[in-house]
Structure 1
């Protein structure tokens, strides 16, 4: 990921929060195989276990997920990790914010009328993780059974409460629980999936929200997105405002450091 300084998010804790708010990540692997494509990607919802927000920590957290055993990417990983359960190759997981949008040059109300030196772009936010993967694929192994049981319980609870808002409090419905499904059915389903645990050894991210533009153009972008009259437009407008204020505050602090 190209992390231009003005867009880069330096706080690991902020990146953790971003992942928890946008848990559907794209797992990408590059594995030599006689039977499967070298580069493969799959969308997977992840549970994040935080360990450290110290940039120097060798492992900053763990991401737990699972995917269909029939997925060709699963087959390539099983093939590669068949003797150790651990992939030799690094894996990458990309998380993106659900809200992103094209930015028309018409929004740059300061620069466009004066020089016309403006071009379209796209506003978005993303986080990217690199690490090592352990693959839980032996359905007869107790380690696999324990991992998958914990994983599907934690993932279901996270999605039911954080995404659906089913908390059982303040008039909200009770969250669905894995225990509501027949045990035998869940056992069959677990045999059709493999577990994936990725150690977060490197993490980076960006919020590209027009903060590279001057104050006048940023205000034009804010007004332009608010004028769309959509939830996405309102969200992007607010992000442009907040990120612009953060950029200006940072520039001011560099200009006038506290002695």
Structure 2
């Protein structure tokens, strides 16, 4: 990934928090069948100094064979994107020397994947994934709310996936290369248009 220093995020804790905020990652493989990409919701955890991403795939998913043949994978977590209009920059009125651009935030995780069969992995993974999304809801649903035989049948149709992350890279392109006034203009413009990415831009007045 092209990563100018102004947009780079290197703090592992910050990167893991960003993944937790946008857990639907794009799993990308490059096996014998060529490049392949599928969106999967991930959970994550730390075991000592190992950062692990966990998910599951449908048994019918052809990416399973690609992972078995070539386990080095890339997962891309996209936290948001937005067009940036030059009209948001105060610099437009001062010099006119502005052009449109695009802001976005993403985390890329590279690592080695392994496929895991059996309920010892799958049951905790689906429970953790469910808990992460249901937590705080007025009437949270739990895996145990469904009939046990039904859940067992569902798990027979999926395969577990665990990725040991070897490299974690964050790119937050949030107008850091602009003046403070221009950054404020972009943030305010996004807020006015209801763009969620604005939440990642610091408030200049705070």
TM over 0.5: yes
In structure 2, which of residues 148, 155, 165 is the aligned counterpart of residue 190 of structure 1? 155
Aligned-residue RMSD, C-alpha: 2.1
Is 1:239 aligned to 2:200, yes or no? yes
Match of 1:148? Answer: 122
Say whether the 8 Å CA contact 2:29–2:66 is kept in structure 1: no
Number of matched pairs: 206
TM alignment of 1:155-234, pairs within 5 A: 155-161=129-135, 165-166=136-137, 172-173=138-139, 175-228=140-193, 230=194, 232=195
Q: Distance in 2 between matches of 1:18 and 1:212?
A: 21
Match of 2:75? Answer: 93
What stretches of structure 2 of length at least 5 have no aligned partner? none
Say whether the 8 Å CA contact 2:44–2:54 is kept in structure 1: yes
Say whether the 8 Å CA contact 2:30–2:66 is kept in structure 1: no
Please give the secondary structure, in 2, of the residue aligned with 1:157.
Answer: helix
TM-score by length of 1: 0.73
Question: What is the CA-CA distance between 1:18 and the residue it aligns to?
Answer: 0.6
Runs of 4+ in 1 over 4 A off after TM superposition: none
Q: Distance in 2 between matches of 1:179 and 1:226?
A: 40
> 1:196-241: CA deviations, max 9, x gaps?
000011101021111110122223223322332x2x2xx4445333
Q: 1:217 to 1:71 in 2, by over 3 A?
A: same
Q: Distance in 2 between matches of 1:224 and 1:192?
A: 46
Match of 1:16? Answer: 16
In structure 2, which of residues 59, 62, 65 is the aligned counterpart of residue 72 of structure 1? 62
Match of 1:120? Answer: 100
TM-score by length of 2: 0.90
Structure richer in strand, relative to its length? 2
Is 1:109 aligned to 2:69, yes or no? no
Q: 1:236 to 1:91 in 2, by over 3 A?
A: closer
